[in-house]
Structure 1
Amino acid sequence: MHQLQTLADIIARHTESDGVFATEIPRLSLVRMSKRTEPMQGVQHPSLCLIAQGTKQVLLADEVFEYGPARHLIASADLPITGQVIEASPEEPYLSIKLDLDLSVLGAMMIEMPPAPETFTTAKTCGKAICLSRTDPQLLEAAVRLLRLLDTPDDIPFLAPLAEKELLYRLMRGDQAKKLHRMLMPESRLQQVNRAIAWIRQNYAKPFSVDRVAQEARMSTSSLHEHFKEVTAMSPLQYQKQLRLQEARRLILSEALDAASAAHRVGYDSPSQFSREYRRLFGAPPIQDVSRLKTEPASFAPASA
């Protein structure tokens, strides 16, 4: 599709080196990587990630999502993931966009839009909070229109909200429309799980019982276990562990904390348990892992997008 090449050209023009680049368009980031990267952990927020060139692999617990051009990823919850660019070169770098979803705009659109065609309301949708879909020409055209505004920055305050709304409209009429609707319905299972996720993210450093999380989500304990696992591919306690370890890694890397102090800060009482679980997730003990990140930063792509 010629729109893919146009999209790649715009991203390449506005990213002269490897990295993640915020843009003047609110919530829109551009990503460029010129080589295969190492796996990198992070939290994927509700967003649309669309690849124009190259291939990426995203791991959610034990599930693998691999996608490239003409496919896009929609995340409908805050999820600890592992991301890795697996196809890129200096001649044909990995190029993608990430648009954080504006839930207030989506909610207003859901109220204003006419009912979806029957083909969308009856279509099967994946139960995970991360799903892949084929990118149809209408969605690509909307993405190109939004990114073209980067070439005329004076137009962004006036036209970007309209272009973003068109892009969201295409998503709301795509094969993940049901998921986006469930994201916005106050008492949907997805929204209940999102309440549990939000509570765990606020309290991850403290011990808690699953019963307490279930109360916050307004679900029974058995229902929370079932639907939390369906959405995130992990249990609430596994989710908490992922958040703890990722935050500990950030503290060691950016605030120069030693491993024991970082472990205590995120809620670990046992340094040896922390070290074992850290190595299991990141593939190396804390000091060795952070040293590698500092000496080879270009080899580690951001997990999201």
Structure 2
Amino acid sequence: MTELAELMQRYVEQYSLSDLEGAIQTDIPGVHFYRSEKGNPRQPFVYQSGIIILGQGHKDIHIGSNTVHYGPNDYLVVGVPMPLECEALVEPGKPLLGLSIDIDHSILLKQIDLLEQAEFTPLQQCKANPCGIQAVAMNTEMQSSCKRIMQALIDGLEAQVLGTSLLEEMIFRALTSCEGHVLFELAYHEGHYARIAKALSKVHRDYAQPLTVQALAEEANMSISAFHQAFRRVTMESPLQYLKKVRLNKAKELIHVEGKRVNDAAHLVGYTSTSQFSREYKRHFNETPRGIKAA
């Protein structure tokens, strides 16, 4: 067990989380701790933007024909929400342990401004993978930052007093890593990445509305053809495929977490035809909306 995993296990024991199967908000706003004893088979999922850290266990992320593997002491920098397929792998007695960290936009912009004043050039050494998400092995500085966050969470008082400064350090480490260019591009309002991020925000905000590619291209202030190309480069999906996956993942949450009826969930995420919704749901999740596995 690595030092980071040991600290995560101490956190589990400190707060009696040995039965946790999923994620919880910690005492530091924007920082979630997750644990899974079971893992999960390959299934559709949406990764939200932020920094994702794995202390124990392994995950395989599938985006189109691309696969990203990451494990203990690896982390991801995710600039925009990404519909993908995720497989979580655990060993007996070694549950999946990790953190997901939301990136405060005001902190991000402040740090980028300071880095630019210092004439820092974003590193781009990890751009070999074309799918927009790349696992990064933690260097010594990032490991220390992660350990300080876990130590603060174990203490409780430290989390309340030092949480914001620890988050600022984590964002700085991510910005100056070889995947930091993702966050720089997100902050550049006129770049294609930032324009697509603006369109994606509209999808996640207004998914229940009758959105069109033209409306999303206008949100990004791009021509339809340029928007299509840039959108696929960032998300590995067409705009309509991405919208469909967002709607279906939200519908699954409404049905299985909030207890909504299938018909109601379909309409709440923007479907006018329940039969079309059921067909697409079954094709996407390999089960009916009510959870009966397809043959």
Match of 2:249 in 1: 246
Decide which moves more: 16-25 or 107-116.
16-25
Q: Does the aligned pair in 2 maintain the 1:55–1:88 contact within 8 Å?
A: no
Match of 1:115 in 2: 119
Q: 1:203-240 deviations in whole A, cap 9, x for unaligned?
A: 32232321221111011111110110111110111111
Is 1:29 aligned to residue 38 of structure 2? Answer: no
How large is the RMSD of aligned CA atoms in angstroms? Answer: 2.1
1:112 to partner: Cα distance? 1.2
Q: SS state of the match for residue 287, structure 1?
A: coil
* CA 1:256–1:149: 2 relative to 1, 3 Å: closer
Q: SS state of the match for residue 116, structure 1?
A: coil
Q: Does the aligned pair in 2 maintain the 1:41–1:82 contact within 8 Å?
A: yes
2:10 to 10, 13, 17: 13
How far apart, in 2, do the equivalents of 1:124 and 1:38 lie?
Answer: 27
* CA 1:221–1:46: 2 relative to 1, 3 Å: same
Q: Does the aligned pair in 1 maintain the 2:123–2:178 contact within 8 Å?
A: no
Structure 2 spans left out of the alignment, 5+ residues: 13-17
1:150 to 142, 153, 164: 153
How far apart, in 2, do the equivalents of 1:85 and 1:124 lie?
Answer: 23
Q: SS state of the match for residue 59, structure 2?
A: strand
Q: SS state of the match for residue 134, structure 2?
A: strand
Identity %: 26
Structure 1 spans left out of the alignment, 5+ residues: 291-305
1:60-139 pair list within 5 angstroms = 60-90=63-93, 92-113=94-115, 114-116=118-120, 120-121=122-123, 123=125, 125=127, 128-139=131-142
How far apart, in 2, do the equivalents of 1:204 and 1:110 lie?
Answer: 31
Question: How many equivalent residue pairs?
Answer: 284
2:240 to 237, 240, 245: 237
Q: Does the aligned pair in 1 maintain the 2:124–2:180 contact within 8 Å?
A: no
Match of 1:295 in 2: none
Q: SS state of the match for residue 52, structure 1?
A: strand
How far apart, in 1, do the equivalents of 2:123 and 2:67 lie?
Answer: 27
How far apart, in 2, do the equivalents of 1:160 and 1:138 lie?
Answer: 17
1:286 to partner: Cα distance? 1.3
Q: 1:117-158 deviations in whole A, cap 9, x for unaligned?
A: 5xx446463554422212111111111112111232222233
User: TM-score w.r.t. structure 2 length?
Assistant: 0.88
| Structure showing greater relative contact order (alpha-carbon pairs closer than 8 Å, 6 or more residues apart) | 1
User: TM-score w.r.t. structure 1 length?
Assistant: 0.85
Q: SS state of the match for residue 41, structure 2?
A: coil
Q: Does the aligned pair in 2 maintain the 1:36–1:88 contact within 8 Å?
A: no
How far apart, in 1, do the equivalents of 2:30 and 2:265 lie?
Answer: 30
